[in-house]
Amino acid sequence: MYNKLVKHGEAFAVGFGLLCILIFAVGIIQGFNSAGYDMSTDLTTMEDKSQINFFNSGLYITIFLGILCIALMLVGIFWDLIRNFKSGSKFLIGFGVLIVVFFILYSTASYDSGGRFGAYWSKDPFYITEGLSKFISAGLYVLFGLSAVAVLAIIVSEIRNFFK
């Protein structure tokens, strides 16, 4: 299995990704057509949004793939801990640092209740509370920080590989 994944893994991943995108796109197009809309319909002006369910296939695929990725990640972590405790412990330390940084950002995040998104804070159906607002802010800060670290790591490794 490993040899097949090494040999054809990228093609399998791209093909599976395209299949998921096609299932999602076909579901949207068929849903629009069966509901009597075309692709230029502005759904935000509809009064009754309870009948909009043609995005569900993409949501279910995303939820399934997210659960699958988390499960595979946990299996990989435990397998690496069993096989090579030194590198596995480095991962656990890094993950712990990431959790600590997240909670520091969560505790220092401000609660914004106004502005152009003021309608979302306390009205149906969003009910964004102070805790949820701070959680979103901390998550975005961690996302931006990790993205910057990833871009810098790519640049540094490419420069280092250029001079090798």
Whether the per-residue pLDDT at 4 is higher than 80: the answer is no
How many helices (H) and strands (E) would you count in the chain?
A: 5, 0
pTM of the model: 0.53
Q: What pLDDT digit, counting tens, does each position of 74-103 carry?
A: 888 788 788 888 777 888 888 899 999 999
**5/71 Cα distance (integer angstroms):** 18
- Domain range summary for the chain, segments of one domain joined by +: 1-83, 85-164
Model confidence band, residue 144 (pLDDT cutoffs 50, 70, 90): very high
The residue type found at 12 is F
Tokens 């940084």 locate to 101
Whether the per-residue pLDDT at 104 is higher than 80: the answer is yes
Tokens for 123?
Answer: 């009205």
